[in-house]
Amino acid sequence: MFKNYLPVMLVASSLFIVGCNDDDEPSAQARVQAVHASADAPLANVTINGDDASSTNSTFNSQTLSGVDYATASGYIALDEGENSIQVDVQLPGGEVATVIPNTVLNLDSSLLYTVMVVGQADASSEFAVEPLIIARSATGDNDATNVDVQVVHASPGVPEVDVHVTGPNDDINPGAPLATLSYKASTGVVSVPAAEYRVRLALAGTSTVAFDSGAVALPAGAELTIAAIPNVNAAKDENTVLSPVKLLVMDGTGSSIIHDTNEITQVRVGHLSADTPTVDVSVDGTVPVDLTNVDFKVVSGYLDLAAKAYDLGIFAFDDPTNLQIDAQGVEFEKGKDYSVYAINELANIDALVIEDKRRPVATSATLSVLHAASLPAAATVDIYLTTSTDISNSDPALASFAYTDIVQNVYVAAGSYVVTVTGVGSKDALLQLEGVMLENGKVYKAIATNEGILAADITE
């Protein structure tokens, strides 16, 4: 499980004891945003001023943010000034949760904006325990119609000290004059700069060795931005492809977005799931990669490293480039994201199903994705069971009334050996069954129901 459950010490100079307001006067408002920045931790539930909170504001401003994914920020939440509590739990198999930040009372000052980040690694063997990182800034910024305020945070464990360079898009970096030098969990003050296009680069401290390069990015006038360097969990198949160890999480107070390194790629795989379609070739912008030649039914390729852009995808009858069965033009693949492209339906109505795959592993469980790709009319809608034996007579379906082309992702399952069974809705008679499915913590698996069985594979790498 986690390295420890954090006897949390919030050693932050930004947290102050504040006086109580007169009962007849409205309370001043502080603002707090919550951020999931632990790359191998599961989806998180953030509870603010829960029922069992010991804060003076526990009966007010009670909020729960459920299923917060990695690299996501809530935006600022208004809370009464003074004592407020926060607790962070992560989701485990079977609907259980584990507390990673116990119910902790913060004394909030309305003159400050707070960013509460969950950082570190959930892997029990890691030297970087999961913990809270609290960043504060003045609620009254210097931004105006022409300027933007920016604060930068190093929130990537295992990444060494870096120099932060914010320059014009075409400027060289000067190793001797960075904006700041940051170690893990350190942050800059708030810097006010004219709204314009900038280039953010992180270099190993004291060098010109760039570990992250944003390329040209626009910083808009009037914005109050907190930018955190967080772990990049994407991996390249080609050992010659070097990816940045970080990406930038940009928080504007209402939500968040990601800036990827200029060299970040996308990964795409292709699967033949059309039962009556013969062997095919798959073309990418008019070229057929070796891995996508002579693809048979139920064959799913490995992930291919591609530049992130729009592609024209074609599926041809094998050895017949004139027989175009699927013509998918301008399919967009974004940086830092992974996709599966499946040929589905019967040959007469063959089509392409494009899915953005969730491949981030978590340390505390196996992660399972399930796709219904069996086009048999009798299996248009099914129940799917995940059990430890072939006997499902006393089991409830893990997925009930699961329809053709439905997909579910980020299902946390305890490590072990399982049987996947597909039945008609409400039936205990197996249409498809796959035994001996081994699931391990820290890995991501995809199970695909087809007309002729269930395909299962580890898609972590």
- Shared domain check, 388 and 340: no
Query: Closest by alpha carbon to 431, among 395, 387, 381?
Result: 381
Do 333 and 445 lie in a common domain? no
For position 4, what pLDDT does the model report?
36
Q: How many CA atoms lie within 13 A of 13 on its CB side?
A: 3
Secondary structure E strands in 238-309 = 246-251, 256-259, 265-272, 280-284, 304-307
Same structural domain for residues 9 and 127? Answer: yes
The predicted structure's pLDDT at residue 20: 40
**pLDDT given at position 318:** 78
Is residue 324 located within the same domain as residue 391? no
Verify that 250 and 151 share a domain, yes or no: yes
Number of domains the chain contains: 4
Residues with Cβ within 8 Å of residue 246, at least 6 apart in sequence: 156, 159, 202, 211, 212, 229, 230, 231, 232, 261
* Cα–Cα nearest to 31, from 84, 107, 110, 101: 110
Range of the domain at 277: 264-357
Do 5 and 132 reside in the same domain of the chain?
yes
The pLDDT value given to residue 321: 75
- d(CA 372, CA 146) in angstroms, rounded, equals 52
**Are residues 221 and 131 both part of a single domain?**
no
Torsion of CA 328, 330, 334, 338, to 10 degrees: 10
Domain boundary among 234, 261, 288: 261
Contacts of 316 (CB under 8 A, 6+ apart): 280, 281, 282, 283, 322, 323, 324, 325
Query: pTM for the complete prediction?
Result: 0.89
CATH for 284: 2.60.40.2890
- CA 268 from centre of chain: 17
Which of 46, 54, 147, 58 lies closest to 88 in space, CA to CA?
46
Of 261, 288, 306, which closes a domain? 261
Render pLDDT for 132-160 as a digit per residue (tens, 0 to 9). 999 999 998 776 789 999 999 999 999 99
Measured in whole angstroms, how far is the alpha carbon of residue 163 from the centre of its chain? 26
Whether 310 and 194 share a structural domain? no
Among 140, 165, 186, the domain-final residue is 140
Question: What pairing do the DSSP bridges indicate for beta strands 82-91 and 44-48?
Answer: antiparallel
The residue type of 58 is S
* 3-state DSSP of 106-145: EEECCCEEEEEEEECCCCCCCCCCCEEEEEEEECCCCCCC
Residue 10 has a pLDDT of: 34
Three-state SS string across 81-102, please? CEEEEEEEEEECHHHCEEEEEE
- Residue 278: per-residue pLDDT: 92
Q: Which pLDDT belongs to residue 236?
A: 85
What is the pLDDT at residue 145? Answer: 81
Do residues 100 and 41 lie in contact, with contact meaning Cβ atoms separated by under 8 Å? yes
Same-domain status, 12 and 118: yes
Report the chain (461 residues): mean pLDDT per 10 consecutive residues.
36 34 67 96 94 51 89 95 94 93 92 96 94 93 84 97 96 93 97 95 96 96 95 87 95 96 96 94 91 93 94 88 89 96 94 96 96 94 96 96 97 96 96 94 96 93 75
CA 182/CA 205 separation, integer angstroms: 8
Kindly tell me the burial class for residue 172, based on how many C-beta atoms sit within 10 Å of its own C-beta (0-12, 13-18, 19 or more).
exposed
Find, among 461, 420, 459, 453, the residue nearest to 437 by Cα.
420
Regarding whether 219 and 157 lie in a shared domain, the answer is yes
Question: What CATH number is associated with residue 129?
Answer: 2.60.40
Q: Which amino acid is at 213?
A: D
Closest C-alpha to 53, from 76, 83, 89: 83
pLDDT recorded at residue 237:
83
| Count of beta carbons in the 10 Å neighbourhood of residue 458 | 14
Identify whether residues 9 and 136 lie together within a single domain: yes
Residues 370 and 328 in one domain: no
